[in-house]
Amino acid sequence: MSSSPTRWIAMSSSLFLAGLAIASGGTGLLYAPVYVLAIAPGILLGRRLVTPPAAGSIVGGVVGYGLVQLALWLPIFLGQPSRLAFGGVWLLLAAVVVLVSRRVQRPVLTLPAWGAGDLRALALTLLLVPLVMTPPYRNLGAADGNGTRWYRAYFTADFVWHTALAGELGRYDVPPRNPYLASQDLHYYWTYFLLPSVVAHEIPPAFGDVQSVLKANAVLSAGLFMGMFFLFARSAVPSGTIAAAALGLGVLTASAEGTLVLEQLWRQGAPLRLVEDMNIDAITNWQFGGLRVDNVPRSLWYTPQHAFACALGLVAALTVATAGAAASNGAIWLAGTALGLATCFNPLLGGVFSLLYGLGVVVDHSRQPRLLTWLRHAQAAIPVALALGWAALNEVAEGAGSAVTIGFTGFARRNTTTSLLLSVGPMLIPALAGLWPWRHLPVQPLRVASIGTVLALLLMHFVTLSEASWVGFRAGQILLLMLPVLLARPLWALSRRRRWPAAALALLVLAAGLPTTIIDTYNAQDISNRRQGPGFHWTLPVRPAQQEAFAWVRANLPEHATLQMEPMLRGREHWSLIPTFAQRRMAAGLPISLLPMREYDTASSEVERLYRTADSREGWQLAHGRGIQYLYVDREDRAAYPEGVAKFQPPYFERIFQQEDVEIYKVL
């Protein structure tokens, strides 16, 4: 390796670690070696299975992260969670990987030859992670001079839920309980969160809190995601630089919504600062009532679990794009393992990428007999079937099937073309040129990306859940992974003789899409905006008195205790105050990040009555009826229920904590 790519890799690594430290504090730097050690068996295996070695490290890291989640799950499932057990299953995983690696005589997946330029392009691609993640994560939960911690919307929908989920997983119950309905099991795809949850639970408090660990895990996982994204784009063109350029445009310039809003404000003579009070990547819904597609930065900020499921799916997509129907049995099992892990992380995304893999095999015109080819590739379905069994065992998707609607309904019917062009038009329109059969470019990556694009468009427009935007978000993630592969083709063709035509196309895409990402990133990190938004404040506080109360709860109340707040009063703002910050379950809540259930409303109405009534005995009976052991009260409860709060006295209730206006009561 020449010194030039070495310097680029060193620079990229240094900036990446600096971004990690800024985003998650010293905890991030302490967590990084734990993360690398956790995925090390996968990296070892990947370097034996895939060449060139840098690509093998990325593929192996992605698969390794998936494998270590299942390894950590095993002692929890067996009812023997401990540091010794977790270390033991990691050693077992490492031993199995070493044995498998020794049996591998040659790589099972050979990617196009790499040069120094590819390593430089990869190094630059990885810098997109600190570029987009550091500003919002730096201010996520940041404290002001008074000690108040601030959380920006829409982290208040996802990150605060992930914090609560990590706390629940750290209790090691099988299956996990629902922290917003303690009497029921939790039905959610929690696989991605096992490693940070176990680490946060087992480490000394001086190492860092659960939120710092989650942020560090998201940044490091984003690095693997971006690396896998680069490999997939690189399969389409013989230039790492072009692949990185297409990928960068896909990450930074997918949406024209920001450009539209700026143009509207300019025409109206309105101040441009009005964009600070807009959900800029949801203008298709705000103005046109149509589908929303989250850009890639939002996937990394808000839903890293889904982004990582996509990274696993890309392992299979890369395999079928590179090896096609003629893939070896080893490559088929690599793809199948990745698809199985993707299914464990998110059954919908795992299923879509499995379909993409299968169709990619079907459309490849291999010289092998077609029936024999299909039978060989059916091996990839074995890990997927096992993953579906694992998901059923752990009830991660229980009840989701009844929430699915098939048909051209909901947001998809409203201003369909306008919404699609605004959401992904800057990438979609030039990517269509990639469908041209350029002579010197491989055809199979084109087929795979085209199939993925069609699947994503069909999914987002013809499948919905009871939460109307969820499927559109997931389908949008897939779509934005496919379009850069298509865009890379015309960029490469235009750059063959002169560079300026490709540069001109890239500048046009930047002009159309970059404003959205700039506005979105600024807003995501802007915790100084305390103004009212659409049904919630743009930035939400957790006051010092509340923080002291929650720290006291974590230190003094049993891990499995039920601590209840009034769930209806706080609406969509502090809906997860207790599960997130006190890390304790509630008997009733109204979670905005889970599928709606009637029982949430029923239980919450009973708790609202518990707080409202002035009758101590009635309140005590309601608390016992729901299994509530402790009650949380602050100034919002006193303002809403002055007589109701006054009843929390002996012989039915006992105050066990007070700090300013915040009190904790024990139900006697």
Residue at 476: amino acid letter = G
CB-CB neighbours of 205 under 10 Å: 10
CB-CB contact of 151 with 542 (8 Å): yes
Q: Is the pLDDT of residue 403 over 70?
A: no
Please state, in angstroms and rounded to a whole number, the distance separating the CA atoms of residues 275 and 296: 20
* Helix extents (H) in 463-576: 470-495, 500-525, 544-556
Q: Mean pLDDT over residues 332-352, rounded?
A: 97
Q: Is the pLDDT of residue 350 over 90?
A: yes
pLDDT at site 1: 42
DSSP SS3 for 338 = helix
* Proportion of the chain above pLDDT 90, given as a percent: 87
Which domains are delineated in the chain?
543-667 (3.40.50)
Give the model confidence (pLDDT) of 549-571 as tens digits.
999 999 999 999 999 999 999 98
Please state, in angstroms and rounded to a whole number, the distance separating the CA atoms of residues 504 and 523: 29
- What residues have CB less than 8 Å from 24, skipping those under 6 apart? 31, 137, 208, 212, 213, 215, 216, 219
Give the model confidence (pLDDT) of 566-607 as tens digits.
999 998 899 999 999 999 999 999 999 898 889 999 999 999
The pair of structure tokens assigned to 347 is 């059954």
CA pseudo-torsion sign 402, 405, 411, 416: positive
Q: Mean pLDDT over residues 527-545, rounded?
A: 93
pLDDT at site 367: 64
Count Cβ neighbours within 10 Å for each residue of 427-461 and write b for 16 or more, e otherwise: bbbbbebbeeebeebbebbbbbbbbbbebbbebbb
Please state, in angstroms and rounded to a whole number, the distance separating the CA atoms of residues 334 and 322: 13
Please state, in angstroms and rounded to a whole number, the distance separating the CA atoms of residues 91 and 241: 39
Please state, in angstroms and rounded to a whole number, the distance separating the CA atoms of residues 123 and 102: 30
Give the model confidence (pLDDT) of 74-122 as tens digits.
999 999 999 999 999 999 999 999 999 999 989 999 998 899 999 999 9
Half-sphere exposure of 304 (CA within 13 A, CB side): 28
The pair of structure tokens assigned to 621 is 């009976």
Instruction: Provide the whole-model pTM.
Output: 0.96
Element (H, E) at 542: strand 539-542
What is the secondary structure of 591-654 as a DSSP string?
-SSS---HHHHHHHHHHHHHHH---HHHHHHHHHHTT--EEEE-HHHHHH-HHHHHT--TTTEE
Give the model confidence (pLDDT) of 440-477 as tens digits.
899 999 999 999 999 999 999 988 876 677 788 899 99
The pair of structure tokens assigned to 152 is 């920006």
Nearest CA-CA partner of 257 in 415, 129, 473, 418: 418
**Residue 171 banded pLDDT, cuts 50, 70, 90:** very high
- What residues have CB less than 8 Å from 260, skipping those under 6 apart? 283, 422
Nearest CA-CA partner of 284 in 469, 458, 136: 469
Q: Is the pLDDT of residue 406 over 80?
A: yes
Counting every residue, how long is the chain?
668
Q: Is the pLDDT of residue 365 over 80?
A: no
Give the model confidence (pLDDT) of 607-640 as tens digits.
999 999 999 999 999 999 999 999 999 999 999 9
- DSSP class of residue 580? I
Q: Mean pLDDT over residues 301-325, rounded?
A: 97
The helix, strand and coil proportions of the chain, stated in percent and rounded to the nearest 5, come to: 65, 5, 25
- DSSP class of residue 655? E
Strand partners, 532: 537
